[in-house]
Structure 1
Amino acid sequence: MTIDSKLIEEGEAFIRKKAFLHCTSNDDTDDDLRSFRSCLRWMCLDQSNCFRAIISWTLFILLTIVVPTLSHFILACSNCDWKHQRPYDIAVQLSLSIIATLSFICLTHFISKYGLQRFLFLDKLCNDSEKVQQRYTAQLNRSFKLLFIFILPGFVAESAYKIWWYSSGGTRIPFLGNVYMSNAMACFLELCSWLYRTSTYLLICMLFRLICHLQILQLQDFALVFQEESDVAMVLAEHLRIRRQLKIISHRFRAFIVLALIFVSASQLASLLITLKSHADVYIFMAGELTLCSVGLVTGIFICLRSAAKITHKAQAITSHATKWHVCATIDSYDTPDYDTPMQIASCPRIFALDVYSDEEEAVDEDDMDDTKFIPPHAHTISFQKRQALVTYLENNRAGITIFGFMLDRTWLHTICAIELSLVLWLLQKTVGFS
């Protein structure tokens, strides 16, 4: 290798590095990452150094294993009145602890292995438009608000129940020498344990939703290539890049999604089984915590499945978008005898007139990836063979979130719902004779 070629390569590498640093040093992105790192520190999930890692694992063991175990065995209160008994406490504690353990291990693995910027795909924003970068950083900040909105109602309800349970004579264990101080400390530890486990689980679900939202923004930006003069090779390269990112997301989160779905399903079936016993007493005072636990678990898995199905649907809608673009360009290329003048759209509105919604409410719900009112490019800019090859490629290489090779789309959501419903009906038949 000559000295000139080495200098050229070093110069190109320097330019790429400067471009990357310019992209990742955006003030908005840095502010959002700073807020996100602060959130991780407050939740004691930041393991950027050895000291913080020790604190993180210590707090995890304390709030996920030690406190729930002591709470179940010491505060069982079997001789209390019916309002203060906790017959479903073991189901609540096991469900929250198992799902929090899975979330903590996955989140720790992701951040330690990939780093925060790479895990959130912030290093990939250099290839996207400025509009996508701004919308993604805004969505990153909005994710904290959504996490707060999901957690706050459950925490308020859990706090009200715990305060009532301790203040109305649920237990009397003066391990601090004072009954009131003991109850206050026990109540505080239980609330911290519930908040920590629920927040850890919902945090990783919201991060998965955030990463999927970035791919949706990229797909919306990618769909604009069909409205302007584009090279087929550039369109193909961009689709390959997005498809590769979706594959990376699938590989990273597939174990978490599958295990979370199994644990949540097992937890809900176990809860249904113990509440349908012949001697089971189901009152709001007894089953209130079980209800909050079930709502939190189902909310998290719903966020994951909905996000995966949405990005899969958006990615597959690109094929329909490209097909309409190809049809419009082909028809107007035959209808327009003079290729030197811009194409006048005459036939396409007639072909897709049936796709346009007549009702205003239905038009609002129309998928932005399936917009039927786009303007196709000049027919003479891309040959028929190239357009046909691109459409054939998109038809045979569908992108989306996959779980061990299975595309997680709406069909799979229907299959999962059917399986869950079958299990519930089978359990009802075995317990209450439902048929």
Structure 2
Amino acid sequence: MARDADNLPLEGERRSSMDSGASLLQPFKTDLDRSLRRFELFLSLLGFHPHSSVVIILLSATAFLALGIAAPVSTIVLTRCPLGGCEGYRIERFEVTVLVFEALLAAFSLACISRNLFKYDIRKFLFVDQHHGQMDRFHKEYVRKIQSFFQLLLWWILPCFLVKIVREIIRFENISSSSSWKAIVVFLLSIASWIYLIPIFLSSCLLFYLVCNLQVIHFEDYGRLFERDLDTMVLLEEHVRLRYCLSKISHRFRGFLLSMFLFVTASQFVVLIQITGFNERLSFTNAGDLAIASVVQVVGIVLCLHSAAKMSHRAQGIGSLVSKWHALRTCASDDTSQGRSNSYGNLECLPASQMIEYSESDLESVENNITVHASSQPVSCTSSYQKRQALVMYLHSNAGGITIYGWTIDRMLLNTIVFLEISLVLFVLGKTLVITSK
């Protein structure tokens, strides 16, 4: 069913598919076009090629084998027997675990994201041309979200990269006393492999984060439609379209999300078993890569789950918004003597901002609760009430959200998974970064 839904092109998809071959030759007309072009170029540099061919696939596979597998394996082989007896063995035990899971995460990220980009071009993948000629008012928001993608990627990679540099410098000093050329080779190969694998994993997580945030824009815009005197059928059709987009996102990313969660959780448990079974002293030199890898993996999972839960929260909040709208329209439909007075005195149907009090924990979602103004025109027909009531029942029964094989990623699931992952990574950090005295 989901596969068939993904193959139903909308008006924007037809247009983008016709122009995808000539998009590279056309001049950039707007800031959004330029941002999408830079974004597509960046993804291509990482190996996520939207227009793949046999040559490009071979080049990407060669780069992955060279930088993602051969380079870290070479560092393990070269540091197998350094000075200090079995210190190299202790380093090797942990680095093999780091290598295996970093390579698996990068490989699955490349496979899942590249498949979707190959099947849908960058505009269809980000749902850019889905708004029936109303894209101009979303241009600035789209450009801002794409820029935030690069900012978040830099903010998360830079601190981890600095810690990685410090760790490699410490190992460089230990190896250089035996062989300077070996220390230089190990340092360069280790840094090159890390710079290649980690951005692939974090970029794929941030790409899902970007897709969800772009849909948040349209759900917030959908909330503003209730301020206007629109027909109930128009509101229903718009929500059906938004929910259709959410189902497509869930279908495209469900394999990616499930594999990321399973691999990261398995990695944390393997590290936990290795550390608890290690009888000698742990230090930043021999287990620093475990701490760095654990932080990066948990950051990626938190970004994915946070964006999915935020999107589900926005979708589920529409039900509360339409109930408020329905109540205000019903109050406004009464006659003057009944609608403007009651046992408490002469009262108007208040705007939504005066009727609702937000708790401190819900301040983040206030932007989605758009103020709804009651219509001053009375509704003379009972069928209008029935249509609004039907819309309320539909939205409460079909809230939508990001799902993984039917399981909705909401705040409850997010809290459970995040607590599990953070507990594991804090244990690893406590064992590797805390200085112990002997």
Structure 1 residues 335, 264: closer, same or farther in 2, change over 3 A? farther
Distance 2:166 2:101 in 1: 21
- Tell me, yes or no, if the aligned pair for 2:94 and 2:287 is still in contact at 8 Å: yes
Residue 38 of structure 2: SS of its match in structure 1? helix
Q: Which residue is 2:150 aligned to? A: 144
Q: Which residue is 2:109 aligned to? A: 103
1:53 to 51, 57, 67: 57
The one-character-per-residue Cα deviations of 1:76-95 (angstroms, maximum 9, x if unpaired) are 23653687651411221112
Distance 2:231 2:220 in 1: 18
Q: Is residue 167 from structure 1 mapped to residue 173 from structure 2 by the alignment?
A: yes
Q: Aligned letter for 1:211?
A: V
Q: Is residue 74 from structure 1 mapped to residue 78 from structure 2 by the alignment?
A: yes
Q: Which residue is 2:366 aligned to? A: 367
- Tell me, yes or no, if the aligned pair for 1:77 and 1:170 is still in contact at 8 Å: no
2:41 to 38, 41, 50: 38
Q: Which residue is 1:116 aligned to? A: 122
Q: Is residue 91 from structure 1 mapped to residue 91 from structure 2 by the alignment?
A: no
Structure 1 residues 29, 193: closer, same or farther in 2, change over 3 A? same
Distance 2:158 2:262 in 1: 26
2:69 to 51, 61, 65: 65
Distance 1:31 1:137 in 2: 9
- Tell me, yes or no, if the aligned pair for 2:71 and 2:189 is still in contact at 8 Å: yes
Distance 2:177 2:261 in 1: 36
Distance 1:362 1:301 in 2: 22
Distance 1:351 1:27 in 2: 37
Q: Which residue is 1:406 aligned to? A: 407
Distance 1:421 1:191 in 2: 26
Q: TM-score, normalised by structure 1?
A: 0.81
- Tell me, yes or no, if the aligned pair for 1:228 and 1:376 is still in contact at 8 Å: no
Q: Aligned letter for 1:64?
A: G
Distance 1:133 1:27 in 2: 8
Distance 2:325 2:219 in 1: 16
Structure 1 residues 334, 129: closer, same or farther in 2, change over 3 A? farther
Greater relative contact order (Cα < 8 A, sep 6+): 2
Q: Aligned letter for 1:370?
A: N
Q: Aligned letter for 1:66?
A: A
- Tell me, yes or no, if the aligned pair for 1:321 and 1:369 is still in contact at 8 Å: no
- Tell me, yes or no, if the aligned pair for 1:274 and 1:280 is still in contact at 8 Å: no
- Tell me, yes or no, if the aligned pair for 2:312 and 2:409 is still in contact at 8 Å: yes
Greater mean deviation of Cα atoms: 318-327 or 188-197: 188-197
Distance 1:125 1:196 in 2: 36
Distance 1:213 1:203 in 2: 15
Number of residue pairs aligned between Structure 1 and Structure 2 = 396
Q: CA offset at residue 370 of structure 1?
A: 2.9
Q: Which residue is 1:175 aligned to? A: none
Greater mean deviation of Cα atoms: 291-300 or 393-402: 393-402
Distance 1:51 1:124 in 2: 32
Q: Aligned letter for 2:124?
A: R
Q: Which residue is 2:393 aligned to? A: 392
Q: Which residue is 1:241 aligned to? A: 241
The one-character-per-residue Cα deviations of 1:202-257 (angstroms, maximum 9, x if unpaired) are 11111101110111000010101111101111111110010000000000101111
Distance 1:320 1:393 in 2: 12
Distance 1:111 1:232 in 2: 36
Structure 1 residues 308, 321: closer, same or farther in 2, change over 3 A? same
Distance 1:321 1:351 in 2: 9
Distance 1:299 1:89 in 2: 20
Structure 1 residues 407, 171: closer, same or farther in 2, change over 3 A? farther
Residue 84 of structure 2: SS of its match in structure 1? coil
- Tell me, yes or no, if the aligned pair for 1:202 and 1:300 is still in contact at 8 Å: yes
Q: Aligned letter for 1:387?
A: R
Structure 1 residues 362, 303: closer, same or farther in 2, change over 3 A? closer
What is the root-mean-square deviation in Å for CA atoms of aligned residues? 3.3
Structure 1 residues 338, 71: closer, same or farther in 2, change over 3 A? same
Distance 2:413 2:348 in 1: 37
Q: CA offset at residue 53 of structure 1?
A: 2.8
- Tell me, yes or no, if the aligned pair for 2:160 and 2:292 is still in contact at 8 Å: yes
Residue 130 of structure 2: SS of its match in structure 1? helix
- Tell me, yes or no, if the aligned pair for 1:75 and 1:171 is still in contact at 8 Å: no
Residue 298 of structure 1: SS of its match in structure 2? helix
User: Is there any run of 5+ residues in structure 1 with no aligned partner, and where?
Assistant: 1-12, 173-178, 340-344, 425-435
User: Is there any run of 5+ residues in structure 2 with no aligned partner, and where?
Assistant: 1-10, 340-345, 426-438
Q: Which residue is 1:330 aligned to? A: 330
Distance 1:288 1:348 in 2: 62
Structure 1 residues 363, 48: closer, same or farther in 2, change over 3 A? closer
Structure 1 residues 287, 390: closer, same or farther in 2, change over 3 A? same
- Tell me, yes or no, if the aligned pair for 1:80 and 1:170 is still in contact at 8 Å: no
Q: Aligned letter for 1:310?
A: K
Distance 1:275 1:42 in 2: 36
Q: Aligned letter for 1:368?
A: E
Identity in percent: 31
Residue 296 of structure 1: SS of its match in structure 2? helix
Greater mean deviation of Cα atoms: 385-394 or 274-283: 274-283
Q: Is residue 207 from structure 1 mapped to residue 207 from structure 2 by the alignment?
A: yes
- Tell me, yes or no, if the aligned pair for 1:110 and 1:119 is still in contact at 8 Å: yes
